[in-house]
Structure 1
Amino acid sequence: MSYSPTYNEVGKRIRLSRILRNDRAVVFAFDHGVEHGPSDFPPEHVNPRVILEKVVDAGVDAIMMLPGIARITWDIWGNKTALIVKVTSKTNLRPKDERLLQSPFGYVEDAVALGADAVAATVYWGSQYEDLMLQRWFTIRESAETYGLPCLQLAYPRGPAIANRYDVEIVRYGARAAAESGADLIKTYYTGNLETFREVVRAASGIPVLMSGGPRREKEIDFLRDVWNVIQAGGKGVVVGRNIFQHKNPKAMIKAVKAVVHEDKTPEEAVKLLEQ
């Protein structure tokens, strides 16, 4: 007797396929206005509509943002790219010792209402608030399952006992914890080279792993090499913000990243797209 998937499973598979084009994805991260504040943006990109028009036009696979900005920019991204609604966040206005806690910033129902293809939430593995974030994660995941929505976990090891959050043993621990807590997609730190990131992918046990874009790299070729290493290690792509919206030519940078992720171009080949 053949197996028939549930309605939820069908919905999740369809939505994942909208994000992972040819099993890979370039996702534009756009939660920095809360996580870091408006000073993270160049003056011309403080208005979200300006940068979102550029990234949508460049053909990014998905955009990850908070519900409020998704609501006021729907006419830009609607029916043009996949939407991932992040439903947790935190500000740097908090006392420093409380910045290792992500708070609710929306609901799964908000994502459904907006027509999202997935929801996202952060867990700071190793934080003193890990238990509270896990409770929220499981509430989000349970609700998302009802609607057939995939869950992207930003699996970020951070805490008073973690000396180096980019250490491969720390990062792969977080990736494994994300997989074991039911994530459908995992966003995590780049460990510095192909060999160590391959260990992160292995630890994720078949759950697609996407690299966190991190701070702006001074040289574009260096960032493209990071992305290339991630793909060669078995990663499925990148969730990138600052290396796009802080770049002088965001559209060209997205096209270069897409060339590495989707076309298997080398960094040296892809960087030439920035010269055109």
Structure 2
Amino acid sequence: MTYENIVALIGKENEPLLTHACTTVTKDQLHLPSPDFTDKIFLPSNRTVQTLRNISALFHNGRLSGTGYLSILPVDQGIEHSAGASFAPNPLYFDPENIVRLAIEGGCNAVATTFGGLAMVARKYAHKIPFIVKINHNELLTYPNRHDQVMFGSVKDVWDLGAAAVGATIYFGSQESTRQIGEVSAAFEEAHNLGMATILWCYLRNNAFKQDKADYHVSADLTGQANHLGATIQADFIKQKLPENNGGFKALNMGSSSYGKLDERMYTQLAADNPIDLCRYQVLNCYMGRAGLINSGGASSGASDLKQAAITAIINKRAGGMGLISGRKAFQRPFKEGVELLNTIQDIYLEKKIDIA
């Protein structure tokens, strides 16, 4: 897709995203994605030689190979949202081989999905595309539903599958988050010892985060802090939802209760209302970009998916992020259209006219 095609796709109302200049924290202070990102950022770290090799494998696969950017296909919705609800729009993805095929034909750097799915096809595909094995999930069969991530296997199982990376979720802000932090911290330590990279879904879950018709699960300040916690437990890459608002700490501090800590400069100097500035605040909390920020593609909404995916990619890239991890928008449509959507995302990261704000 050419630059002109991208401009036409996002529409005139979104063209300002292509020219916005970020004046909060400038791009020269960030650790930006680059072809030599592994050498610059991870080589001086405590990561083992085997881990460096697997981080490099993630960067050197698919259409974005060698750019420092990542395009990942994640499909854990069969557990997280029920298989029927997730795959009814396209039942061929009940077969996990088609998930891997979509990632390969879609030009992705890697595929992220479940133990069982990857185990079924490991010998056929582990040497063809890097595997990211999701080790914990929130299952929605317990009644009533609750928000908790539980382990579905061991880090050794991930290594036995020939995976390049371990993926995990922590529901920061939930009552169970303290236990999850301990479990995932231990898992990431073992993963690095065995030579695998680590990717953390830094999601927020707490009913109190919805205040006055605003959903602060996607506020820049709260998601930014979740990112910082993720980087602290040595996640090499952070998966986070794109921020849609700000001021979560302020909203939760209303009334007599006290929650968290804030500084007004978080909202005046480090972030602004523009979507790119809000996303940049997320990048800042990923150790200024040392832990790559990969924003999620979000739910599928039908005909507007291609446009929304392109807008999300532009915001992430111009903010200093490292790529997109987009699942439902790709697999909940015909196979060929899923490939085209993934390629459109990748074209934005390949387009030199779309630069860092």
Q: Say yes or no: does 1:46 pair with 2:132.
A: no
Structure 2 residue aligned with 1:224: 310
User: What is aligned with 1:186?
Assistant: 238
Aligned-pair CA distance for 1:97: 5.5
CA deviations over 1:233-259 (Å, ceiling 9, x no partner): 011001111011012311111111111
Q: Helix, strand or coil for the counterpart of 1:123?
A: strand
- For structure 1, which segment, 48-57 or 146-155, has the greater mean C-alpha deviation from structure 2 after superposition? 48-57
State, as a whole percentage, how many aligned pairs show the same letter.
Answer: 23
Distance 1:188 1:6 in 2: 23
Partner in structure 2 of residue 165 of structure 1 = 217
CA displacement 1:147-184 (0-9 Å, x = unmatched): 12111111001113322201111111111111122211
CA deviations on 1:28-68 (whole Å, 9 max, x unpaired) are 00111111111211223222223432331222110011111
5 Å matches for 1:231-270? Answer: 231-248=317-334, 249-264=337-352
Q: Does 1:68 align with 2:68?
A: no
**Structure 1 residue 76 displacement after superposition:** 5.0
TM-superposed CA distance for 1:262, in Å, is 3.5
Rounded to whole Å, the distance in 2 between the matches of 1:264 and 1:18 is 23
State the alpha-carbon separation in 2 of the partners of residues 14 and 233 from structure 1.
Answer: 27
CA distance in 1, matches of 2:46, 2:130: 20
Greater RCO, CA 8 A, separation 6+: 2
Aligned with 1:149 (options 183, 196, 203): 196
In the alignment, structure 1 residue 176 sits paired with structure 2 residue 228: yes
How much does 1:264 deviate? 4.5
CA contact (8 A) 2:298 2:326 kept: yes
Unmatched segments (≥5 aa) in structure 2: 1-42, 60-64, 211-215, 245-274
TM-superposed CA distance for 1:94, in Å, is 2.1
Q: CA deviation at 1:5?
A: 7.3
Please say if 1:29 is aligned against 2:79. Answer: no
Moved over 6 A (4+): 4-7
Rounded to whole Å, the distance in 2 between the matches of 1:134 and 1:51 is 29
Counterpart-to-counterpart distance in 2, 1:76 and 1:261: 29
Aligned residues: 262
- What runs of 5+ residues in structure 1 fail to find an aligned partner? 267-276
- Aligned residue for 1:37, secondary structure, equals helix
CA RMSD of aligned residues (A): 2.0
Matched residue of 2:175: which SS?
A: coil
SS in structure 2 of the partner of residue 143 of structure 1: helix
Letter aligned with residue 241 of structure 2? Y
Q: Secondary structure at the match of 1:73?
A: helix
Between the aligned partners of 1:156 and 1:6, the Cα distance in structure 2 is 26
1:207 maps to a residue whose letter is A
Contact 2:224 2:285 (C-alpha < 8 Å) held by counterparts: yes
d(CA) in 2 for partners of 1:171, 1:109? 30
* One-letter amino acid of the counterpart of residue 253, structure 1: L
- Check the 8 A contact 1:70/1:114 in 2, yes or no: yes
User: Kindly tell me: are residues 110 and 243 of structure 1, through their superposed partners in 2, closer, same or farther at Cα, counting changes over 3 Å?
Assistant: same
Judge conservation of contact 2:126–2:161 (CA < 8 Å) in 1.
Answer: no
Matched residues in 1 for 2:145 and 2:79: separation? 17
CA contact (8 A) 2:131 2:163 kept: yes
Match of 2:54 in 1: 15
Tell me the amino acid that sits aligned with residue 31 of structure 1.
Answer: D
* Alignment partners' CA distance in 2, 1:75 and 1:253: 28
